[in-house]
Amino acid sequence: MLPHQIDTLISARWVVTIDHASRVLEHHSVAVAGGKIVAILPSSEAEQRFVAKEHITLTDHALMPGLINLHTHSAMSLLRGFADDLPLMTWLQDHIWPAEKQHVGEQFVYDGTLLAAAEAIKSGVTCLNDMYFFPQPTARALLDARLRGAVSVNVIEFPTQYASDAEDYLSKGLEAHNRYGGEALLQFTMAPHAPYTISDRTFERMVTLADQLDMQIHCHIHETRAEIEGSIKEFGVRPLERLARLGMLSPRLIAVHMVHLLEDEMAQLAEHGVHIAHNPSSNMKLASGICPVSTLHDFNINVGLGTDGAASNNRLDMFTEIRAAALLAKVATENPEVVPAHRALEMATICGARALGREDDLGSIEVGKLADLTAVDLSDIVCQPCFDPTSQLAYVAGRENVTHVWVQGQCLLDNRQLTTLDEAELKQKARIWHDRIAAR
């Protein structure tokens, strides 16, 4: 039997599949053709069965699904460290929103998204679920980086440098969707900012559009106690109850943060199939509280992981979030068995895919899925000894150990070197923006 021609054969010490069986396969290879995984088999068999245009041998690595950052504000990488150690509303109202009013435009968003894409790729991330203004330059930057992303039709009720009112935000977001919605690397989400910045009428309009256009809905909800208190004062109910009455709760909804929840609210989320984007580092840094991940899991609610933006977290590092999510859940419940290593890795991969409606083609290493893959070198002294690669990925390895990243079979990081982006050019862009913002 003649060998099959394929594009790429990746042979690794371990293949951490994150499939339904949570398998860890030793000395296995993943065969890639046409951007998809076409076979997973022992490396000794793979070399006989396939002839690859490129054969990568990763002798001390774990090959895992690419990480999915379920919530971020990519362009805000240019505001990294701009306003630290502040509560959420002070941070937003007194620092971030004024800075955005002065500086955010198409070039800011394009450059900031490219900077975020570079950080994401070097951190093993293959897909970003973004929420920000100016979706067209966001889309262009992701395509130039060849990074997968969900681009937002972002809406906030008050005027900004981007749009004047809710209808203007929607019109511009839908224009971006019409232009870039057919790109294989992109999908779009409806993104109402938060209950405290969106009217009932706009929420209802966005739910209708999401249904018509088959989009997920991406929204900050129950992030702080102040948000909940404000909703009770203004609407007479907690934010989640208000959103339930407006028809927001469904499997389309990716509810971001969800820090302050009652048990009956969690039951309601489970009943409607709502997904959660947990952002442990951002919630800790802004002192917003601790998302009750363990109880959400008890209700069989899907919980993925996000970094939030670099302006509030300061780093777009999903390995930090994996470790933080596991440890924070343990200390919050005083139970070391909750969110074990394999569950934390699932939250960063297949759970994010499920939330985006992409479980069938992303989030695990399985035949037929897209070849979005990350290789992590576990040979470093800080990773020794390695008894369990799953545990090592969750608790020991960091983004500095990521060596290779593929999106749809294309290598974006080759032995720690970016292949689609110019690192020196991005550093220069960051310096220019720093000087411009600091001068104000």
- Measured between alpha carbons, how far is residue 237 from residues 11, 202, 229, 233, 264 in Å? 55, 18, 9, 8, 14
Binding site for substrate: which residues?
Answer: 100, 193, 223, 308
CA dihedral 153, 258, 321, 365 (to 10 degrees): -70
Spatial separation of the C-alpha atoms in residues 265 and 78, rounded to whole Å: 36
Q: Among candidates 319, 246, 259, 303, which has minimal Cα distance to 285?
A: 259
Binding site for Zn(2+): which residues?
Answer: 71, 73, 220, 308
| Contacts for 88-91: CB closer than 8 Å, 24+ residues apart | 88/223, 88/224, 88/226, 88/286, 88/288, 89/224, 89/226, 91/286, 91/312
DSSP H/E element including 431: helix 423-439
Binding site: which residues?
Answer: 71, 73, 100, 193, 220, 223, 308
CA dihedral 264, 223, 247, 354 (to 10 degrees): -90
Query: Helix, strand or coil for residue 432?
Result: helix
